[in-house]
Structure 1
């Protein structure tokens, strides 16, 4: 049996842009992507701490070191620049494999630079 489990999370990142006239997705600084073990095109869940919105989209690679967090397309209607988000990725594993998984947690500062990386113990 496969189950969905937390793979990684970027906790409390700030929205820097919202581009309605775009195909869709979330653009994330490549440094944050690497720290959270995200790849371009990967499905993520977005949780907006400011308004309670929860939605899914996919990742687009943003300029490394830029701090960019940009919601594109229809997702841009669910955020405001300055909103605080949690970006979550999941994976499917066999139940026994899932018990051994150590998710990556990334805690950025107010400029979306990596403050701390952690692994759930």
Structure 2
């Protein structure tokens, strides 16, 4: 048996762009991804603190050091520049692994810097 635990979290990042014309996903500054342990194409949940919207999508690495948090495709209708978001990924673990697990959580500043 496995259980799902929080793996990575970017807590209270600021959306910098919303691109309706892109096919989908969320673009995240590569430095932020590295800091919390996210990898390219990883499945994430994104919560909008401004309006309560929640989506599931996948990550695309953005320019390193850009501070980019860009919601692409249909999500651009629910997330706008300036909105504050929480981005989370999860991992399946055995109860034994879970007992020792500590998620990687980062708290970027208002410019999305760690």
TM-score bin (small chain) = over 0.9
Structure 1 position 69, deviation (Å): 0.3
Q: Distance in 2 between matches of 1:78 and 1:94?
A: 35
Q: Distance in 2 between matches of 1:49 and 1:64?
A: 25
Q: Please tell me the root mean square deviation across aligned C-alpha atoms, in Å.
A: 0.6
**2:8 alignment partner in structure 1:** 8
Q: Classify the secondary structure of the residue corresponding to 2:107.
A: strand
Corresponding position: 1:86 with 2:86? yes
Structure 1 position 96, deviation (Å): 1.4
Q: Distance in 2 between matches of 1:72 and 1:93?
A: 30
**Hey, which bits of structure 1, 4+ residues long, moved more than 3 A?**
none
Aligned residues: 114
**1:113 alignment partner in structure 2:** 113
**1:42 alignment partner in structure 2:** 42
TM-score (norm 1): 0.93
TM-score (norm 2): 0.98
Which of the pair is proportionally richer in strand?
Answer: 1
Which one has more relative contact order, counting CA pairs under 8 Å at least 6 apart?
Answer: 2
Q: Which structure 1 residue ranges, 5 or more long, are not aligned?
A: 115-121
